[in-house]
Each structure stands twice: as structure tokens, then as C-alpha cells.
Chain A
Amino acid sequence: MKEGRGAHIPFAATLLERRDLSEDTALFRILPEASALEPLSAFIPGQFVQLSVPGGGEVPISPADLPSADGTLELCVRRVGHVTELLHQAKAGAPLGIRGPFGTGFPLKEMEGRPVLLLAGGLGIAPLRSLLMHLLRNQARFGEITLMYGARQPKLMLFREELAALAAKGGLRLYLTVDFAPEEPAGTYSCAVGLLPDLLKGYRFDAENSYAAVCGPPPLYRCLTADLERAGVGASRILLSLERRMRCGIGRCCHCAVGQKLCCVDGPVFRASDLKPIPEAL
């Protein structure tokens, strides 16, 4: 983001609407003020913004899609703490604040021409959704696109119908899996029962050339990185989007340290090869 007004000062934004995705997670559409549109238009999938709820505070959120033509931004947020709770209580029209984008996104140029395997666990689908949308909109420039998405149970699976519709159009190989599966109505896009690594185990793909993008809870990174490497995906082509509590977003407060790196400027997207020497990274 360009300096000038001070990267720590949020632009004004308005909550347009919310759509509940599960019991505790919703998709918020927000419209930033006009002067914020230029910096936000530089957003690269994987980067994050700092979203403010006035009087409550700020949280780092990785947008669920690129900004639309009119500048609206989609943020997928789980109700999990003080600020996100206030956001979930907010009504359409509520004033918010936004600054960013910050950090490094996925290396899109480098990924061109290569098959991309996206692996999302739980809420990890949110940051990967912006990457997925970018890949699908520019399909000709990328190889085969595969998404493996695991959730605890079907009702916690976010964007399920939308993902099924994208898969039905062709161009996306979609595999869904859940830890537990109660009875489901007929006609829903079927999911396997099991963990993501089980899904990956049976999957045959061009590992030598593929890029993998992973986002999910910490234990997921540990086992998936090992499995992907075993399958033949080089550690520098395994891209992990890490979660840390970014406070300032501009590399000062040190709250998001990952070893000697800072998640807010060196990440949140890291290569598995860069994280190997850092024991606390995953």
C-alpha cells in the first residue's frame, strides 16, 4: 500500500450486506470509501486487509475474492473474538474501517502454466477462495485447477453450493471431505468422509510441476506439507498461508513474528521451504 496518509490510518467503509454461511461464519460485503479503491485494487490473492469495527478494534482478514469492479470487497469472517463478534452484530449500513492490502500474496506469475492444487481446511477456504476465483477467471493461463476442501461436518462447509456450481461448469476438480457425516438430503454435492490427507493420498497428479496452496488449522500444515513433499511437490512450490495476530500490519508491532520473519510483511503466504528452519512456524 502507498504511504502518504499513513498506512496505519483506516479508510472509511460501509457494510453493505451479510450472508450467513454457517452458524458462526458469514460473508460480509463492504464498500470502502472512494479514496481507498485505488490502494485496494492492488490486492493480490493471499494478501490481507485490516478491518476496523469502530470502537471495537481491528482484525486482519484475507479477502475471499478480488475487489469487484465497483470496489466492493467480500470478507468471510468467523465470530471468534471481540471485534468479529461486533462485526457479526453490525447491521447493513454500519460504518467500518479498512486499510491495506498488506503482506505478500501468492506468486501468481510464477504459477502460470502450472497445475494448481488448493488444499483448504475449515475456514482456510476463505483466503484460498480469492486465489481460486483468480485462477478460474484466468483459466487459460494456468494448468489444471483442483480444490480439496475439508470441514468438520457438512453444515460447516462454506460456499458448498457455489463450489459445486463452479465444478459443474468444468475447469475445477472439486473434492470435498468431512470428518463426520450425518444423514444428508439427496441432491447435495457429495463429500467423502475422512481427513484431507486421506483425500490427498489417493490422488494422482502431476506433482513434479504442480503448485500447492494450503490454508487451514496448524496441524493440517504439518501433515499436508509432508504428504505433498512425499508425493513429489517441491517444498518451494508448497505455499502456506499462515495465521498470526497482526496488530499493526506494517511490520512494527512484532505481534505476528514467525521466527525472524514477520507474517505481515514476509507473509502471510510463505513457501514451505522457507518455514522449515523455524520450529514454531507451523
Chain B
Amino acid sequence: MERIFLYNRQLNAFLETLRLFGELHAPALNDSGVMAFSPLAESSDLRLDYSRTQIPPKKYLIPFREEILHYTGGTYRQGHPHPPVIVLFGVHPCDLDGIAYLDLVFMGEAPDPAYAERRAKLILVGVSCEPDDFCFCSGSRPSSSCDLFLTACGDGFLLSASSAKGEAIASAASDLLVEPPSTITSPATGACGVTAQDPQLRFSGNPLWERFADTCVSCGACSVCCPTCYCFDVREYPALSGGGTRLREWDNCLFVTHGEVAGGNFREGRLDRLRYRFLHKYCGFTPLQGMTSCVGCGRCKAVCPVDIDLRELFGEGEEPYRGAP
């Protein structure tokens, strides 16, 4: 049998091996007591039993604000982020799916240069998890949307590499790995509970839409913490010395400014904006139409100050609402 099992007692040594490949980042509590992916100074800071971080790992690929172009001497030039190589450890399957979705958007036919540079320098090491009440999935599932995946079972983890980088890590850690003990059984696998929805649901007379719109405060938290929300705004600022900087920063479709044009607003009401978000998230967008971008992480439900749960609208496990009887 292959040596693919890592005992829990070897985890710290494994983390040290990961540090050989880049700056190690992992889930840990920050100074404000918020669970966040952050640089792991001490291995003891690692919180592998975390349910979810507040901000998803998209922050490593699309920073909240970044320079995309600078203007000097009469020309616009590409800004280069020059990111360090980061090993992101402890990413759950839903967040890995989120990154896979962002890859589709930013690494398609004409890759976004800043994203591509950051993505090439991000090594993903996933870890299985246990869903809680906020999760939209039926159970943890192994993922191949990463370089290396660790499935927790028994007294340790089963490793599976999905890329050359992942294999290189496994091989560097080979001294720590053993054949899986015969007592462990393959863990049960679940699936993301959110499937692509029928766009018509958006126009249904379901009274839940009105109820949600009445309570929604347009704070945009659901979108900020969504692993697949990537809407951005572009701003440009002049420099005192001449020239200027063009930035892009996270935008939010729940904000009233999102649908503004010179002479009006196409999504002025909260109901319009909620429905728009639903349509984008659960029915897909050009050219990913028909594909849901909800990965089931449960962040939107966990952070919503007024307890909006779109799953109610989908009638989880029941027939979706098709109009008044």
C-alpha cells in the first residue's frame, strides 16, 4: 500500500515541510477574535477545527483594492503585484470550489494578468471538514481543486495530490507518511446542496421575495464574504506629480450605485437587487450561464444581520415555489 497517511502527531512537522514551499497561511483567530486565513507564525495558532473564516480565500487572488494600471509619461502601464509564493493550508472543499469558479472567470480565454500572477503563486492544501447548521452541503467531500488534499479519518489524514506541486509536497514529506492503518474506513462523502436554480423563480409571485426585501438592509455583507462574488469597480486617481493610478476594488450588487447609469438606475429597489443577486449566484451569468456559483459555504447566512436565508426560497428538499395555487 502507498504511504499516504499522516498521523495527527506529525501535523506540526508537516506544516514545517509546507513552509519550505512558500509563506504558510492557514485559518487562525486574528487579534479581533475573527477567524481568518492569515500568516501562520506559530504552528500552535492553527485552528483546523474551524467552521469557516469570515472572509473567503478570494482575498489572496482579488485583493480588496489593487492597482491595475499606472499612468506615467503619456502611457498606461500594467501594474505588477509581484506576490510571494503562498501555501494556503486548511482550505475546505467549498472554498476550493470557490477558487475553481474564480479561475473560470479570470483565467479563461484571456487571463487577467494580476489574477494569473497571484494564482500561479498560490499553493492550495485542502482539508476535509464537518458541515454545521449554516453549511449548504450534505457532508464533507474530497476535492481535487487544489494541489494537495487531506481527508481527516481516524487518527490522521489521507493525502491525495492533484498536481505536480502537490506531489512534490507529498514527496518532501514522505518521511512523515505511512501506509494507512487497516482500521480506518473511507469517510462518507457528501455533496454541495445547492444546485442551479430556474431563473423563472426570480419572477415568481413567491411572497418570500417581498419579505426578504422588506428586511434586507443592503449592507452587502453576503456579497463581501461570498467566495465567488467578484464584481469590481474601477477608479482612477491623479498623482500630484502628474500621471495617475487606476485601481479596481470589490464592488457590491446590493449597493444602490451598482445599477446606476448617467440618467438613472436599473436596480433602484432592494427587491430588484436581491433578485439580481439571486439570478447571478444561482442561475449563472454569461458565459457561465446555467452554472450556480454558490459553493455552499454558508457564510452569507452566517453573517446576514436580518437572517435572510435564500434556501427558504428554493424550498430545500421540497418542490420550489411555482406561483400561488
Q: Is the interface of B mostly helix, strand, loop or mixed?
A: mixed
Cβ-based interface call for A113 (8 A): no
Cβ-based interface call for B182 (8 A): no
Q: Is the interface of A mostly helix, strand, loop or mixed?
A: loop
A56 to B238, Cβ gap below 8 A? yes
Cβ-based interface call for B212 (8 A): no
- Shortest C-beta distance, A49 to chain B (Å), equals 14
Stretch in contact with the other chain, from A40-48, A68-76, A242-250: A242-250
User: Quick one: which of A56, A80, A252 contacts B106, CB cutoff 8 A?
Assistant: A252
CA distance A261 to B266 in the complex (A): 14
Q: How many residues of A contact B (CB 8 A)?
A: 41
For window 126-162 of chain A, which residues contact chain B by CB distance below 8 Å? none
For window 207-232 of chain B, which residues contact chain A by CB distance below 8 Å? 230-232
Cβ-based interface call for B262 (8 A): yes
User: Quick one: which of A7, A244, A257 contacts B285, CB cutoff 8 A?
Assistant: A257
B236 to A55, Cβ gap below 8 A? yes
- Shortest C-beta distance, B77 to chain A (Å), equals 7
Chain A residues closer than 8 Å to B106, beta-carbon distance: 252
- Shortest C-beta distance, A151 to chain B (Å), equals 15
CA distance A78 to B260 in the complex (A): 17
A260 to B237, Cβ gap below 8 A? no
CA distance A232 to B279 in the complex (A): 33
Cβ-based interface call for A174 (8 A): no
Chain B residues closer than 8 Å to A78, beta-carbon distance: 262
Given A7-B110, A260-B285, A254:B231 Cβ within 8 A: yes
Given A12-B74, A55-B237, A252:B105 Cβ within 8 A: yes
Q: A residues touching B (Cβ–Cβ < 8 Å)?
A: 3, 6-10, 12, 52, 54-58, 78, 80-81, 95, 97, 217-218, 243-245, 247-248, 250-255, 257-262, 265-266, 279-280
Task: Enumerate the 4 nearest inter-chain pairs by beta-carbon distance, A residue then B residue, closest first.
Answer: A55-B238, A55-B244, A57-B236, A3-B110
Can you report 7 A-B residue pairs in the complex whose CB atoms are below 8 A from each other?
A6-B110, A10-B76, A54-B76, A54-B243, A56-B244, A247-B232, A253-B233
